[in-house]
Structure 1
Amino acid sequence: MPRQVDHAARLAAVTDAVVAIAAERGFAAVTIRAVADHLGASTSVVTHYVPHRDDLLRLAVRRELAVRRAQAERAMAAAPDPLWALVRWAVADTGDRVHRFWLSLLIAAPTEPVLRAELDGFNAWWDDHLRGLVRRSGVAEPEVVADTLDVVVDGLVTAGFEDLAPARRDRVLIRVWNALGLAAG
């Protein structure tokens, strides 16, 4: 009798392997062979689900970015101040794996067109939300405020690798928030 395979679960395991490898060793280490080894399977098992390396990258990154967008959407929907919720979500302590995945994505995107395209899509989503929320806040010079928040978010995400305590991160955010003339979240 043929073995029953849960195709959705197998595909999820393949994408999980890509994310794990990228977070541990960077996207340059993501190969069909590396994914197969991570799964304890043959390369033909991997290529049965995802035939090319670019497809592996696209599928895994798209899934991870969709998860992050969904988290942000939930945070904004549940908050009285969606701008504050979006910025707090972006700098929240997401754990080492997520931090390492993002760093790997940022490092690899300039040389990997598939990753660049996925990151560009996410950045367009981020810009639409951030800039729209800043404009609706009524703050003076909304483009400068949005640019400042982009820089602060990038810095706080990077500082997350240096064990910046959440309470200290929040104090930094509040100080920046106040300096920009935004209502406290």
Structure 2
Amino acid sequence: MPIEVDESERLAEIADATVAVANERGTRAVTLRAVAERLGRSTAFITNFVPSRAHLMVNALEHAQSHWRTERASLLRDATGIERLVAVARWMCSTTPEDNVLRSLWVEVIGDVRGDTRRAYDVVREVTDATYQEFVASAEATDLEHPEYIADILYLYCRGFHVKTVEDPEAWTDERVNASLEVLLRALLGPRLDALAG
């Protein structure tokens, strides 16, 4: 009798191994062989679930997307108005070690949108578009003047942070970025930001 395989469990293991390889050796080192070695498996085992390098990236990003959605929903569950807008911005400007690796994969994907990498790009766009819509909805739920521009400014600030953490992670730390984010939030929201802290 054949052993039942939990495909979602296998894909999660492959996603974790993909991120681990990228973290240890850089995103260019992510290959089917490297991921198979990391898992102590054959390349044929990996291709049974993930047929190409591009699909490795899709799989890793899809797993991250699921995690980010859950995390964002939990963070924002009871937040409304300006509190929600500020929470989205602060969440977007936080980093885990895995986030830096996934951002590196994201930068590689948007640099080459062809063939199989198109699906990885689509996953990235789904994540970034959903976050942008969260900024817009949160800003529009306030009484701020020009909420659409405030949403644009905060979104672009956070996305710029993501690129800079890939380009120069030593310089663009969470502490540095969040200090300037607080200045930006104060400039955009004025006394309303103080009211949140009070």
When normalised by structure 1's length, the TM-score is: 0.82
**CA distance 1:56–1:170, shift in 2 (3 Å):** closer
- Between the aligned partners of 2:68 and 2:24, the Cα distance in structure 1 is 19
**CA distance 1:54–1:40, shift in 2 (3 Å):** same
- Between the aligned partners of 2:26 and 2:127, the Cα distance in structure 1 is 19
- Between the aligned partners of 1:132 and 1:164, the Cα distance in structure 2 is 28
Is 1:106 aligned to residue 115 of structure 2?
no
State the superposition RMSD in angstroms: 2.7
CA contact (8 A) 1:16 1:60 kept: yes
Amino acid at match of 2:87: A
Amino acid at match of 1:100: V
Amino acid at match of 1:118: V
Aligned residue in 1 for 2:189: 181
Q: Once the two structures are superposed, what CA deviation does each residue of 1:52-83 show, in whole Å capped at 9, x if it has no partner?
A: 33332222211111111211111111445211
- Between the aligned partners of 1:2 and 1:149, the Cα distance in structure 2 is 52
Q: Once the two structures are superposed, what CA deviation does each residue of 1:105-150 show, in whole Å capped at 9, x if it has no partner?
A: 1233230322211111111101111111111122112222122112
- Between the aligned partners of 1:57 and 1:26, the Cα distance in structure 2 is 13
- Between the aligned partners of 2:174 and 2:189, the Cα distance in structure 1 is 25
**CA distance 1:16–1:140, shift in 2 (3 Å):** same
- The runs of 5 or more residues in structure 2 that have no matched partner are none
Find the residue that maps to 1:14 and give its secondary structure.
helix
Shift of 1:23: 3.6
Candidates 106, 127, 144, aligned match of 1:139:
144
Q: Once the two structures are superposed, what CA deviation does each residue of 1:143-168 show, in whole Å capped at 9, x if it has no partner?
A: 221221123213444358226363x5
CA contact (8 A) 1:109 1:116 kept: yes
Is 1:154 aligned to residue 159 of structure 2?
yes
Shift of 1:4: 7.9
CA contact (8 A) 1:19 1:101 kept: yes
Aligned residue in 1 for 2:87: 85
- Between the aligned partners of 1:50 and 1:65, the Cα distance in structure 2 is 17
**CA distance 1:2–1:8, shift in 2 (3 Å):** same
- Between the aligned partners of 2:48 and 2:160, the Cα distance in structure 1 is 41
- Between the aligned partners of 2:139 and 2:184, the Cα distance in structure 1 is 14
Shift of 1:39: 1.3
Find the residue that maps to 2:111 and give its secondary structure.
coil
CA contact (8 A) 2:93 2:178 kept: no
Find the residue that maps to 2:77 and give its secondary structure.
helix
